[in-house]
Amino acid sequence: MPTRCYYVVLPCLAASTVFAVESTDAVSRPPDRVPESVCGGVEFPIAGKHTSQEGSGSTMRRGPAAAIDVRAGRAPCTPPLRRQDVFAWEDTTGLLLTDYSNEDFFALKVAAVNALVAARGDNFHFIGFFTNFLPHHQHGVANYGAIVNDVAGIGVSPTWNYSFSGLFTDRIEGFITLYDVNYDGIAPGAGTHEADVAQHLLAHEFEHRFGLFLPPLLGGRILNESTECPGFNGSHWNPRVDGQGGALHLGEWIGTNPAIGGGDCINPDGVSACRNTDIPGGHFSYTDLYLMGYASAAEMDAGNSELRYMNDACSAIVPYFGPISTFSSADIIAAAGPRIPTPLSSRKHYRAAWVMIHQPDDPPSNAERDKAIGMLQQMTIDWALSTLGRGTIGHSLSTDCNCNGVADEVDIAVGTSGDCNSDAVPDECGEDCNTNGQQDLCEIAAGLQSDCNMNGVPDGCELAGGEVVLLEEGFNGGLPAGWAANGVFHVSGACNSGPGCNTGQWAYAGRDSSCRLFSNDGGELVLPSVAIPQRGAILRHCSRLDSTPNQTYAEVRVNGEVIQRETGGSGVWETRTLDLSDFSGQTIALSFNLFTGGFASDRTGWQIDNVTILSGKTDCNTNGVPDDCDVAAGVLPDCTLNRIADVCELLPDCNVNGRADFNDLCDGTAPDCNGNDVPDCCDVTGAVSEDCNGNIIPDECETDCNFNSRPDDCDRLAATSFDCDKSGVIDECENGPLTLGVVRK
């Protein structure tokens, strides 16, 4: 596994001090040392000085795409935060100094985000907001605004609000607002009460992405805050829950008869933003990690030293002598359903971008930017600790693909790295499939390599070694070893809609008994891990999606990131192909995920068959051009439209004519009267069908006017029927005069 670097600036050392911690683990770990304070941001020279207004509603500075897409499964290196990583946005009308509405504030945020995305690329999962002034009013000390939820089993229906939000992106999941960066109750770094408050606020608001929306347990115990406890009402843990502490008001009760709040909490009430004692210093509990997709249900139960419920308590300050009960992941799943996606295919690594809203003529100062950066740097450290080293969150607007601790754009600007094709990716980070020291895209642009299908991979690399099948499955033997099906996904032969690219059985997200999805159904089909070669690969599968538009969503994910999302569907079997070249050189976890909302019903669901991952290309006519390019150019025919030239497909060839059977069927060379996708001659010779009269036509396809399950010709040959007038129709089937004592009318 390739080495990855995780960079953290440790302020109060030399200004340029950066520790690179190398790791060959699946997730990089931060250094053990936690900075005690922040002395200031580290600046690097960069071509083109930013003004305080990096974007505006009327003009947008378009910048290059990010060097590493957030879809990468491994934790990407991110450079040390710079002052430029805080994106300044002017509140041009002074809206936030007035009695503004939530809708007006949301519109202001959307305008800022659209400008940021236009300038820095669509590469972020969350957008955070500071102000550098005190607004007219605030919605809490901080808050989270949900845009999307694509997780089932956490108590809220999956929903996508992009079409209503006005955002020019379909990747952002939510907004975090911390308001005035100058508030003296929050501070950067660690070790002070104010620093702890800042980190609890950040962890608290980000955790709102996954909770707390859980329904009551089946016995009636309420897990989220409710009106049963005065003063507690919202999407946080109920103060009655003893989960060993967590940022989302998860309490830490100590003892029995009496039990009383304790632990490492901001406030001495045992329930307000406590660090977890099972993950010392962490902001999340094992139960939180289950809801966030970092831990399985079994890991949740094993990791929790206690998970209790104070049946009648509302205040952890007052000693509690009442009844106490326990619960586990099984109780949560029984009430909310299983979490989909499971940790096998959940996203682990996040990127957030931060906007500082300012008033006209009052752009963010260096000190204000530095304070924000200091809090975000500490959050990166705390997030890795709190997620057991399984997750990362980065806050830089830039990437660091070569892991040298310097933003890629700076490497290019100062000449440390070249950028031969001006794609903002240092040349050393680009693909070099033939290992000749030249980036593939640059060789293609210079005409040194051909790329007939324009996929960014030189044809020579795709042809080297021919086509290799990395994974292939048709489910006819059930769910194979190494695969996992969760929720409503299972292997079945039920609910077929007719012929297509499918075979006898398929993976099905739906219910066999009714051939329908129910509201709030969810399912996940996880493939075994697959190593994608440097020359890339494609995913080809047979798909039939029949669902309620804008209520049911079918996704293909790689390492938790969505690479394709569809809603509605055509209701017929279709062959789908997805390019996996973005993940060259990685071992990926690929999954199919289905989510339904609260109004999804009366549709079949999602059926998937013949899943294949292929690497490389074929050149069966040895002309030095990949066959799919020959097909696209019309040089080679492709009767079946499967992107494989007919002359390359030789098997199966049951009639031994040198052509694949499905090509014979496609162009009519071989008839298939019974529609079983096998030439009739093969049905007869292979004893699949009888041919009583030896005419190479399966008996089930011939005329049987008397419905005795035998062709009329064979009735005549066996003298069980006659054709006295030689009309070709046996007598008992003809209208007219008396025949064999039977009157036909």
Nearest-Å Rg of the Cα atoms of the chain is: 32
Highest mean pLDDT, choosing among 179-193, 597-611, 648-662: 179-193
Residues 720-730: pLDDT tens digits? 888 888 887 88
Length of the chain: 745
Q: Regarding predicted confidence, which is higher, 429 or 174?
A: 174
Q: Where are the beta strands (DSSP E) in 215-285?
A: 241-242, 253-254, 260-261, 264-265, 274-275
Instruction: Report d(CA 625, CA 630) in Å as an integer.
Output: 7
State the pLDDT at residue 91.
Answer: 97
State the pLDDT at residue 18.
Answer: 26
Residues 330-341: pLDDT tens digits? 999 999 989 999
Q: Which residues are CB-contacts of 611 (< 8 A; sequence separation ≥ 6)? A: 471, 472, 473, 474, 507, 527, 539, 540, 541, 542
pLDDT mean over 665-689 = 79
Confidence of residue 159 (pLDDT cuts 50, 70, 90): confident
Confidence of residue 38 (pLDDT cuts 50, 70, 90): very low
pLDDT mean over 19-30 = 26
Confidence of residue 492 (pLDDT cuts 50, 70, 90): very high
Residues 595-619: pLDDT tens digits? 887 776 678 999 999 999 998 877 7
Asked which of 19-33, 215-229, 450-464 is least confident by mean pLDDT, the reply is: 19-33
Q: What is the mean pLDDT of the chain?
A: 81
Confidence of residue 642 (pLDDT cuts 50, 70, 90): low
State the pLDDT at residue 385.
Answer: 96
Q: 347: burial class by Cβ within 10 Å (0-12, 13-18, 19+)?
A: buried
Both tokens of 443, joined, read: 């060789």
State the pLDDT at residue 4.
Answer: 26
Would you give the DSSP letter of residue 353? Answer: E
Neighbours of 611 (CB within 10 A): 22
Domain with CATH 2.60.120.200 in the chain: 468-617
**Residue 25 reports pLDDT greater than 50:** no
Residues 449-465: pLDDT tens digits? 888 878 778 888 888 87
State the pLDDT at residue 244.
Answer: 94
**Residue 5 reports pLDDT greater than 60:** no
**Residue 206 reports pLDDT greater than 80:** yes
The vertex-96 CA angle with 94 and 98, nearest 5°, equals 80
Provide the β-strand partners of residue 468.
615
pLDDT mean over 376-400 = 94
Confidence of residue 110 (pLDDT cuts 50, 70, 90): very high
Distance linking the first and last C-alpha atoms of the chain: 82
Residues 361-382: pLDDT tens digits? 999 999 999 999 999 999 999 9
**Which of 553, 557, 499 minimizes the C-alpha distance to 521?**
553
State the pLDDT at residue 740.
Answer: 37
**Residue 89 reports pLDDT greater than 50:** yes
pLDDT mean over 483-504 = 86
- Bond before 319 cis per omega within 30 degrees: no
State the pLDDT at residue 650.
Answer: 58
State the pLDDT at residue 445.
Answer: 85
Confidence of residue 635 (pLDDT cuts 50, 70, 90): confident
Neighbours of 278 (CB within 10 A): 18
Quick one: what percent of the chain has pLDDT higher than 70?
83
**704 close to 698: Cβ distance less than 8 angstroms:** no
Instruction: Report d(CA 430, CA 417) in Å as an integer.
Output: 11
pLDDT mean over 51-60 = 29
State the pLDDT at residue 333.
Answer: 94
pLDDT mean over 223-230 = 80
Residues 507-543: pLDDT tens digits? 999 999 999 988 878 899 999 999 998 788 889 999 9
Write the DSSP string, 361-416: T-PPPHHHHHHHHHHHHHHHHHHHHHTTTS-EEE--SS--TT-SSS-HHHHHHTTS
State the pLDDT at residue 68.
Answer: 29
State the pLDDT at residue 722.
Answer: 86
This prediction has a pTM of: 0.73
State the pLDDT at residue 641.
Answer: 67
**Residue 562 reports pLDDT greater than 60:** yes
Write the DSSP string, 16-41: T-EEEEEE-SSS----S---S----P
Instruction: Report d(CA 52, CA 56) in Å as an integer.
Output: 11
**Residue 626 reports pLDDT greater than 60:** yes
State the pLDDT at residue 40.
Answer: 24
**Residue 651 reports pLDDT greater than 60:** no
Confidence of residue 428 (pLDDT cuts 50, 70, 90): confident
Both tokens of 661, joined, read: 């059977």
C-alpha distance from residue 230 to each of 216, 236, 315, 676 (Å): 18, 14, 10, 68
Q: How many CA atoms lie within 13 A of 139 on its CB side?
A: 14
Rounded to the nearest 5°, which phi and psi values hold at 216? -60, 150
Residues 314-355: pLDDT tens digits? 888 889 999 999 999 999 999 998 999 998 889 999 999 999
State the pLDDT at residue 39.
Answer: 21
**Residue 9 reports pLDDT greater than 70:** no
Confidence of residue 268 (pLDDT cuts 50, 70, 90): low
State the pLDDT at residue 457.
Answer: 81
Output the CATH code of domain 468-617. Answer: 2.60.120.200
